[in-house]
Amino acid sequence: MNKELSDLLDMAKTAAENAYAPYSGYKVGSAVLCEDGKIFYGCNIENASYSLTICAERTAIFKAISEGHKKFRAIAIYVDSEKAFPPCGACRQVISEFAPSIPVVFANQIETTESSMKELLPGAFHL
């Protein structure tokens, strides 16, 4: 993994500290690198009505989009757990909407995996 992705993963770890995860217990952080070098962070925010929960990846991407950034170079996700969690299906589709071929790094306390959106979501839905 190159330094840019490693630094992005460190930022995702920091973002996980702000997670609100009283139901699952899994604190997740994400950092998305925009094409212009700006970085946006996000964490998962759970809700007692589970369908209202939002993942860290979508939080970071939606923050970027709300501030006018729609082109991304990479995304990193960190779960404060011994279990590995790649992005969920909803997050894969959202990432693919804006950046169908970016590198995706996801990690936990034990391991780090580097992939691409094309590998994680082959046959993504696009109009």
Q: How far is CA 127 from CA 40, 94, 97, in A?
A: 26, 13, 9
45: β partners:
20, 54
Q: Is 4 labeled as catalytic in the residue annotation? A: no
Q: Rounded CA gap, 101 and 75, in Å?
A: 11
Strand partners of residue 103: 116
Q: Which of 57, 97, 111, 119 is catalytic?
A: 57
Provide CB contacts within 8 A for 34, sequence distance 6+: 40, 64, 69, 71, 72, 73
Catalytic positions, please?
A: 57
